[in-house]
Amino acid sequence: MLQWYKKHRQFLVDESTALSNDPNKNYKELYQCRHNLFVSHGNILVRLNKIHRFPILVVYTDATPYRLPAVFPLNMVLTKEQVDEIAALSFSDAHSKILEHVKFYYKLRHQNSSGELCTLERDNLDSGSNLYGITVILQRVRDWYAGHITNNFPPDSEEVDFCSHFNFVNQEIKLLYPEHFFNAQFTEGDCYATLYNFQPAGRYLLHNKYLYLGAFLDGIGNSGLYEQVNINLERNFHDDKIKDSIGLYANPAIVNKLVADKKLLKAQWFQIEEEPNPFHTFKDLIRIIGNGDYDAGVKRVVARCKDTIEPLPDSFMIAIRFKNRKGKNEFQLFQVLISVTPPEIIIQITPDDKIISRLEQYEKVEAIEGEKLTEETYHQRNSKRADYYVLKNKFVNIFGVGAIGSEIADCLGKAGIGNIALFDNQLMKAHNPIRHLGTLEQIGEPKITAVGELLFKHNPFIHISPVPLNLYDLDISENYFVDDSITISSVADDNVEGFINQQLVIANKTIFYVRALRGGKVVRIFRVIPGKDACFNCITLHRGDGKIFIDIPDDPEYPTLKNECNNPIRPASAADLKFASSIAARILIDHLQDKESEFNHWIWTSEAIEGTELQNPYQFYRQQIPPHKNCYYCNLEKEVSVNTQQTVLDFMQGLIKENPKVETGGVLAGYLEGNGNIVITNASEPGPNAIKSSTKFEKDVVFCQNFLDILYLDSNKKIVYVGEWHSHPSVNNQPSGTDIKSLSAISLQKEYLTDNPVMIIFSNKGVPSCTMHPAGKRYYFTKLTITQ
């Protein structure tokens, strides 16, 4: 029923009056009808050398006045009875009726596949609603029709792409193409895209959906010769034989199989001189490829597509590249379909004539929806709040990929964190998807691979590393743990996180912990920067003190549901856990963008909690909790400094200069002063049997032990082992996970006669750093004093 006019009576009166008597004389109404729909039918008048009349139908829906009226170009003038019949229908039923009389224009844009004209651009909603009157719309429609006579068409907005106004758009295929598709060194050639996602038709999809991710294109260069390219394709392919485009060229049988299985899309493409008008036949496309010359287009198509067309497939892909009317590059892919009633193929004299005859078998062209997708444009909507140029170089470890961890991973992936490692050893179970990022389709898969697949589908530009690890086996020296990474844990197991705390505090690695409490009504997040923040063990001690730490009691109405292998399952809805995950991800993203907070402890609650200072529901509470004075890991008895002579430093730097591209090193010898500071008197060479490479150094143990024995005896047992030194073949002189593990082990071994070894690391330029590694505690940087 016509409901909108009851609230907008004056708007109806104004529209009805303007339609019946257009003040600009652009429209001559024939019939007007108000029923379920408000409909007007008449002619657009274009006065140039003479008066041109174009029949249209204007239809107002129940969303009026917020939705613009639909304007349909018609191929005939309707009768009063036909207009009344349309007005009596719902909009969807009326549209089916109107389509019988719609005239489609293939010469230019601004007409959708529904037949409706797009007459006005929608403005920014933040500026408020703008109710456009029919007079403005009729003026735009008049200008649109005038374009057919004058070739001076209304301009498109920046958002309008070439495909959007084609009347035949393929319903199954969509292409996302990269910046490489605009490589200016090529004028025509082949393009390749790999299957990114497939969704079969089903309950909600009417058609199969194939989404392809553009891989690369090649072709004829400025030299006139066909040029191959070398592009890494490991992100696109999971085939050992195809690591790059060279591998693709070398394996045509694999390529043909992938194309046949729809896992690879291959098409011939052509650069054209200017943006074409929309069209709908293959002959039109050939003429466009020939830059207006049909015969020239045939020559280009035959030369490039001969092998594709020779077997006479039911359809094939072809693409054009051009600069649009705004000077920006566009790439448009088409599917060319064989005619329903093709002409007979006549045996021709020459092979070229035979191919030309085959071209005539094709008629309909469907546009393939395509979007340019680059790292910059994909992350543009995150700008200001998530700086992709900063975040893409960051490394984050997710410990525990459950209901909270999986959602945190998704938030970080969408923010553009460039490298995410997922740590977990559990499988997806049937009950998980109700709160988990994973789906029922992934039951039985490891959580890390299930989540990894979804992260890649949400952001193809990030690198995901699934690590199937029991966290009790965590080793920060392994390759899966990047030295400058940040970790976030949602394991919520005191024993596991106690072990994680020990490992990361000793290694001086930053970590965030996240827990949902009281059925998800409370979220606790805390950060641990070793030496600055209270660590997990400190929090336990503070909790026992009952002073700084806010202890949040369990809610007896939310008991543990069950216990799966010492993993308690507690009630909480997905909405609560998603919210907890979002808060944690937001805090971590800010930290990664060099916005380290002065606070290290955050609590959000949706309810007042009796017996605590958390009395305001839906409030965020922040604290700065310092390391506990009794924490074994965080409190050093005394930070020591290190002294050595310039000659010792010169000796080590001289060994580095011999070959800065490989690691070298040795042991450090000296003595402890009365105040506990260390004096380094000697540094050894690596030894003749040392292993030295660009990624690894192992000292010659026998040589270094002999070096220490001699110093010990010659100094009357004063000079002893005090630590290690080595170089890195880069500007980085910070200790790696392997370095930390090695020195931590030395501090605990009685054979080394020290529980606080020193380590000096040089960059390839000979710049030193100095760290101390007390047994069972966090390592720290200390001052290296050089004396002459």
Q: 232: which DSSP letter?
A: B
Residue found under tokens 């039109």: 284
Q: Write the DSSP string, 624-690.
A: --PPPTT-TTT--S----EEEEHHHHHHHHHHHHH-TTS--EEEEEEEE-TTS-EEEEEE----TT-
Number of helices (H), then strands (E), in the chain: 20, 33
Closest CA to 683 of 712, 660, 650, 659: 650
Contact predicate 741/477, CB 8 Å: yes
CA 15 to centroid of chain Cα atoms: 47
CB-side exposure of 537: number of CA atoms within 13 Å? 20
Could you tell me where the DSSP H helices lie in 47-153? 80-87, 91-99, 134-150
Closest CA to 548 of 537, 536, 534, 532: 534
Contact predicate 162/321, CB 8 Å: no
Cα torsion 184, 189, 194, 198 to 10°: value is 110
| Region of 580 on the Ramachandran plot (φ > 0 left; ψ -120 to 50 alpha; else beta) | alpha
Q: Which helix (H) or strand (E) holds 195?
A: strand 186-199
Cα torsion 454, 455, 456, 458 to 10°: value is 90
Confirm whether 663 is a catalytic residue.
Answer: yes
Pairing state between β 758-762 and 720-727: parallel
> Tokens at residue 69, please?
């009226």
> Tokens at residue 195, please?
């299957």
Q: Which helix (H) or strand (E) holds 474?
A: none
Contact predicate 114/161, CB 8 Å: no
Q: Which helix (H) or strand (E) holds 47?
A: strand 38-47
Q: Which helix (H) or strand (E) holds 132?
A: none
Q: How many angstroms separate the CA atoms of 786 and 767, rounded?
A: 13
Q: 167: which DSSP letter?
A: S
Residue found under tokens 């002073």: 547
Q: Is the dihedral of CA 109, 114, 120, 124 positive or negative?
A: negative
CB-side exposure of 552: number of CA atoms within 13 Å? 23
Q: How many angstroms separate the CA atoms of 405 and 451, rounded?
A: 10
Closest CA to 784 of 173, 591, 766: 766
Contact predicate 397/488, CB 8 Å: yes
Phi, psi (rounded to 5 degrees) for 314: -65, -30
Phi, psi (rounded to 5 degrees) for 573: -80, 160
Q: How many angstroms separate the CA atoms of 467 and 420, rounded?
A: 10
Which position among 116, 375, 663, 685 bears the catalytic label? 663
Q: 22: which DSSP letter?
A: -
Beta bridge partners of 758: 723, 772
Cα torsion 58, 61, 63, 68 to 10°: value is -10
What residues act catalytically? 663
